[in-house]
């Protein structure tokens, strides 16, 4: 479980997040809505442990461990993974090697790449000249190898063309153990009971909701979590009335 209590975060002296309380239980996926600049990415970066996001008050625990001040790689080792919106290019490091790094040498890069239609990119430098959609598939490929228990997705569908949106959606659902396409012997209730993976997804469009049955929706507005509700309802409200109205009506 991820538990965030009364978190206040600043970057360069400016408060970006305040009074954040958030709890993601094993098996749960949350959707994070919010206008540009509201602090969504900052929240993901803070959970991942980027040092420039300074925690002023409050704490974060994951699997019972206080992670508030531990380095990024130790959070990764505990089982937190991030799918970046704009990851940096790493020259000379091939995507294949990166997948192996994520899987601690055990990942089958070729097999995994096939699943996200990414085989031909394995020999290319990580993120070098990748289009928006290619970056998303590369990020998913890395998470598939890394197998984190808590996955943070920063706008996984932005820049993805219609042809690949289905693939991206299905892959995220599979990563979060929410892939209901192969209806095997297990009942939905049983699947839910056995589900352990946690997710926190930033979305603008809500396309991802067509593939991932999210448990809760959150609206981040001006650095504060302002609403917890059914993600579909939030999406509809935002669509009809805009964020400001939505925050007021839900409050």
Strand 29-33 versus strand 216-221 pairing type:
parallel
In the complex, least distance from residue 244 CB atom to other proteins, rounded to whole angstroms: 33
Whole-number Å distance between alpha carbons of 200 and 247 = 20
Looking at beta carbons only, is 64 or 105 nearer to other proteins? Answer: 105
Beta carbon nearer to other proteins, 45 or 227: 45
Closest to 101 (Cα-Cα) out of 73, 78, 68: 73
Q: How far is the CB of 47 from other proteins (least distance, A)?
A: 11
**Number of Cβ atoms within 10 Å of the Cβ of 82:** 26
Site string for other proteins, 215-234 (x = CB under 8 A): --------------------
CA distance 78 to 101: 16
Nearer to other proteins, 3 or 93 (CB): 93
Distance CA 99, CA 161 (A): 23
Which residues inside 18-57 make contact with other proteins, applying CB under 8 A? 48-51
Site for other proteins in 111-150 (CB under 8 A): 125, 142, 146
Nearer to other proteins, 107 or 219 (CB): 107
Stretch that binds other proteins, among 22-30, 88-96, 190-198, 221-229 (CB under 8 A): 88-96
Q: 153, 117 in Cβ contact below 8 A?
A: no
Stretch that binds other proteins, among 1-9, 31-39, 97-105, 229-237 (CB under 8 A): 97-105
Instruction: Please provide the DSSP assignment of 179-228 as one string.
Output: --SS--S--HHHHHHH---EEEEE-SS-GGGGTS--SEEEEEETTEEEEE
Instruction: State how far the Cα of 221 lies from the Cα of 167, in Å rounded to an integer.
Output: 30
247 touches other proteins by CB under 8 A: no
- Does 90 bind other proteins (CB under 8 A)? Our answer is yes
The binding site for other proteins (CB under 8 A) comprises: 48-51, 71-73, 75-77, 81-82, 84, 87-88, 90-93, 98, 101-102, 104, 125, 142, 146
């Amino acid at each position: 479980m991820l538990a965030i209590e009364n978190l206040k975060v600043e970057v360069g002296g400016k408060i970006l997040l305040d009074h954040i309380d958030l709890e993601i239980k094993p098996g749960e996926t949350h959707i994070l809505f919010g206008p540009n600049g509201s602090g969504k990415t900052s929240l993901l970066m803070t959970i991942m442990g980027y040092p420039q996001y300074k925690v002023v008050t409050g704490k974060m625990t994951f699997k019972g461990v206080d992670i508030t001040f531990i380095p990024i790689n130790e959070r990764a080792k505990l089982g937190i993974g991030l799918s970046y919106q704009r990851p940096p290019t790493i020259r000379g490091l091939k995507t294949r090697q990166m997948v192996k790094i994520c899987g601690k040498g055990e990942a089958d890069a070729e097999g995994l790449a096939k699943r996200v239609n990414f085989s031909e990119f394995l020999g290319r430098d990580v993120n070098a000249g990748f289009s928006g959609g290619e970056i998303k598939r590369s990020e998913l490929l890395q998470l598939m190898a890394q197998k984190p228990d808590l996955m943070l997705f920063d706008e996984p569908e932005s820049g993805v063309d219609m042809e690949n949106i289905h693939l991206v959606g299905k892959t995220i659902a599979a990563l979060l153990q929410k892939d209901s396409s192969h209806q095997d012997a297990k009942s939905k209730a049983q699947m839910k009971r056995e589900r352990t993976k946690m997710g926190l997804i930033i979305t603008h469009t809500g396309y991802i909701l067509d593939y991932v049955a999210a448990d809760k929706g959150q609206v981040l507005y001006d650095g504060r979590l302002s609403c917890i509700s059914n993600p579909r309802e939030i999406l509809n409200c935002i669509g009809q009335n805009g964020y400001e109205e939505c925050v007021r009506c839900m409050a």
